[in-house]
Amino acid sequence: MTREDAFGNKSIKVPFFSPYISKQDKIAVNKALNSTLLTDGPKLQEFENKFSAFTKSKYGIGVSNATSALHLSLKSLGIGKGDEVIVPDMTFVATANSVLLSGATPVLVDIDDDMNLSVESIERSLTKKTRAIIPVHFAGKVCNIKKMKKIAVSKGLALIEDCAHAIGAKLENQHVGTFGDTGCFSFYPTKNITTLEGGMIITNSQKIAEYVKALRNHGITKSLLQRYSKGTPWDYDIVEPGYNYRLDEIRAALGISQLTQIKKLNMLRRRAFEYYNQELGNEKGILVPKLSKHEEHACHLYIIKIQKEYGISRDQLFKKLLSLGIRTSVHYKPLHEFTILKKRGRIIDSIKNAENTYHEIISLPMYPSITTKEQDYVIEGIKNH
């Protein structure tokens, strides 16, 4: 039985992703729509408080998306023109774009076998201009964050965690995003929880939190609620130019509702993840992702590596699965291949692992509502190549 996917393809049997929106979510959104205050209001504050409690951080600041979260984090730490910021060569372009938007230079660094930022490559890429490291907890797997934090502390560098894939991911019961100066989350429709578009910054620094709250709202020193509930609405200050990076009440209400379901959603993802591992783990020429006892994997993406022993290439497998009505993808094209980063990025150390990995990886369908029957159809397509 086929169905139409999000892109209008009517012959799809297993989509790559399927956003999880429950009846509870729809009720929460409709209720928020009845409010007369539709932005910068109490629902946003509630979402921020609940998200910071969930991650056990002191402050949560809701923003328009994870890119703005990264950009504001860089700005709050004083990073700009003339500075260098280390980012993994294999990540979504938003990680590097935020650095470019700050005026700094992204230094593209190699990855390790888990597709996370390589500690050894970080050390070889440090210069006198290095001001920050942005590790990405890739696919929901916690990176080697403790060693990265040790480097950052010893060198006096800022540490900004890109947690776009990693809501619910923990290392030794500590949630990602709380190891660095800030943690930046995404609520895009493919993520473990969604607000359609949206993001969150978490931090334990009051100074960073206050600065980011002002900057997300044009640099205005008071929130809309503060201005209309105390004194005269126009009585505020602007200390520097800011941005329109707000998160509205509708999306905040959806975020609150989704957050109450995060443990269930991540459990469903993990179940699907483990089933793929069980069925594909012994397949010749395929490397499956690892799960560690010391960490809680968010299971955002399920990525396998196709090696020569498999018999056909990654691209051939992609085409074959698509012909069967199975949507897959690749995460990601390395940053150094994009024109803008060829011009404005830097590479100091070798990026061979990123280059080689790119040609091997393929992301399989992964979402909370995926059924065993759908997974079996994907697995059969992979095994019968």
Which residue type occupies 132?
A
pLDDT at 232: 87
Q: In angstroms, rounded to a whole number, what is the distance separating the alpha carbons of residues 334 and 332?
A: 6
C-beta of residue 91 within 8 angstroms of C-beta of residue 162 = yes
Please report, for the chain, the start and end positions of each structural domain, with discontinuous segments joined by +.
23-259, 263-383
Residues in the chain: 385
C-beta of residue 202 within 8 angstroms of C-beta of residue 185 = yes
Average pLDDT, the chain: 96
Query: What average pLDDT does this structure show over 99-117?
Result: 98
C-beta of residue 379 within 8 angstroms of C-beta of residue 288 = no
Residue 351 confidence (pLDDT) above 90:
yes
91 closest CA partner among 360, 260, 330, 289: 330
C-beta of residue 200 within 8 angstroms of C-beta of residue 213 = no
Helices (H), the chain: 23-33, 42-55, 66-76, 94-102, 119-125, 145-155, 206-215, 224-229, 249-259, 262-280, 314-323, 339-344, 352-358, 372-383
Q: Which two tokens stand for residue 287?
A: 């490397």
pLDDT at 316: 98
Confidence of residue 215 (pLDDT cuts 50, 70, 90): very high
pLDDT at 11: 80
Q: In angstroms, rounded to a whole number, what is the distance separating the alpha carbons of residues 46 and 245?
A: 18
Confidence of residue 223 (pLDDT cuts 50, 70, 90): confident
269-291 residue pLDDT tens: 999 999 999 999 999 999 999 99
C-beta of residue 226 within 8 angstroms of C-beta of residue 44 = no
Residue 158 confidence (pLDDT) above 70:
yes
Confidence of residue 1 (pLDDT cuts 50, 70, 90): low
C-beta of residue 170 within 8 angstroms of C-beta of residue 122 = no
pLDDT at 226: 83
DSSP string, 187-233: --TTSSS--SS-EEEEES-HHHHHHHHHHTBTTBSS-HHHHHHSS-T
CATH 3.40.190.10 fits 23-259, yes or no: no
pLDDT at 4: 66
Residue 231 confidence (pLDDT) above 80:
no
Query: What average pLDDT does this structure show over 302-330?
Result: 97
110-154 residue pLDDT tens: 999 999 999 999 999 999 999 999 999 999 999 999 999 999 999
Residue 97 confidence (pLDDT) above 90:
yes
186 closest CA partner among 177, 105, 77: 177
Residue 197 confidence (pLDDT) above 90:
yes
Known catalytic residue at 75: no
pLDDT at 3: 66
CA 284 to chain centre: 31
Question: Residues 170, 191, 213, 305: which is the catalytic one?
Answer: 191
Query: What average pLDDT does this structure show over 325-331?
Result: 98
pTM summary value: 0.96
Q: In angstroms, rounded to a whole number, what is the distance separating the alpha carbons of residues 231 and 118?
A: 52
Collapsed DSSP state (helix, strand, coil) of residue 83: coil
Instruction: Give the CATH number of domain 263-383.
Output: 3.90.1150.10
